[in-house]
A = this chain, B = another copy of it.
Amino acid sequence: MLIGKVTGSVVSTRKSDNLVGNKFMIVDILEHMQNGAKQIIAIDKIGAGIGEYVLVAQGSAARIGTGMKDAPIDAAIVGIIDDGTGLE
């Protein structure tokens, strides 16, 4: 998993049917956890707010681990870090 900070969200009205009801959060990945990309879009099942540090799971874990195995999801917020200020 990687850790990032939630900095916003994007809206998609026309989307895959099995994505309806999901929020698409913009997550700024901590610099030393970046594989190149500075940002990733992740669905949020935990209720993370802007500015919170979150744990993001990628790949099949994001679908299956959130109970959405048939949805086209490859990244999900799966936890909120209690104190992320020292991590950057």
Interface residues of A (CB under 8 A from B): 1-3, 10-16, 18-19, 24, 30, 32-42, 45-47, 55, 57-66, 69-76, 78-84, 87
Q: List 10 A-B contacts (CB under 8 A).
A: A1-B73, A2-B37, A10-B55, A12-B79, A12-B80, A15-B55, A16-B45, A58-B74, A59-B59, A65-B71
Counting every copy of the chain, the complex holds: 5
Complex alpha-carbon distance, A42 and B33, angstroms: 12
Contact (Cβ within 8 A) B19 A78: yes
Q: A14-B80, A35-B37 are in contact. List 14 more A-B contacts (CB 8 A).
A: A1-B24, A2-B37, A10-B82, A12-B55, A12-B80, A14-B79, A15-B46, A32-B37, A32-B39, A33-B38, A33-B41, A35-B36, A36-B36, A72-B78
